Amino acid sequence: MTTHNLIGGAWLATHTGVELVMPLAVQSRIGGRRSTHVADGITTETYVESMRPSSDLRGHLTFHLKHEVLHLELLSRVFAQIEPQELASWISAEPSGQYARRAGFLFEWLTGRELALDVMPAGSYVDVVDSHKLVAASEGLAEPNKRWRVRDNLPGTRAFCPLIRKTPDAQQAMQATWLQRAAQVTQRVCRSRPRLA
């Protein structure tokens, strides 16, 4: 795959020189026709030319947040490589944009540094984590962040925040009623055990 055709997270990693410990769960590229290929737990998404984002941080970070699975290691390392002003300029130009606000929140959350903004974010609150793609904090635990107008539904802290993809296997496991099954097994074992006199 040529680097010219990489988009989203793969483009961000390549253009900032970031080498990831954990590979991207979704690797996107531009190709002849739309297709999805899954091998060894990695999904390769091929998009048509009309889906190519603008060739800058704004375009590819938006693509990553919108179409791919959020990858905190990638963002943490990319944010360490970029000029914060580049991100602040995007947010000031698009203060109500959900992807700009999510990117700004994630920058501050991951780096511990505050962005200097000319215009404060506005708009309806949006979740930081797409709960259709990843396991997120439950609705009652998501904290509204007034500065970014996002709901912080990350399932952890900056020091430890495991993101679990909602693959078919993971969703099946989440639907299992483990406590009920454990209680049933315990009851069967207790009933079958001989009583001491």
Q: Which residue has the tokens 């406590």?
A: 179
The answer to pTM > 0.75 is: yes
pLDDT of the residue at 192: 58
CA distances (Å), origin 175, targets 116, 139, 187: 43, 18, 22
Measured distance CA(136)–CA(46) in Å, rounded: 27
Measure the CA–CA gap between 17 and 13, rounded to whole angstroms. 6
**pLDDT exceeds 60 at position 195:** no
- Read off the pLDDT of residues 86-119 as tens digits, 9 standing for 90 and up: 999 999 999 999 999 999 999 999 999 999 999 9
| Residue 107 · residue 80 · CB < 8 Å | no
**Could you tell me where the beta strands, DSSP code E, fall in the chain?**
6-7, 26-30, 35-39, 42-47, 126-127, 143-145, 150-152
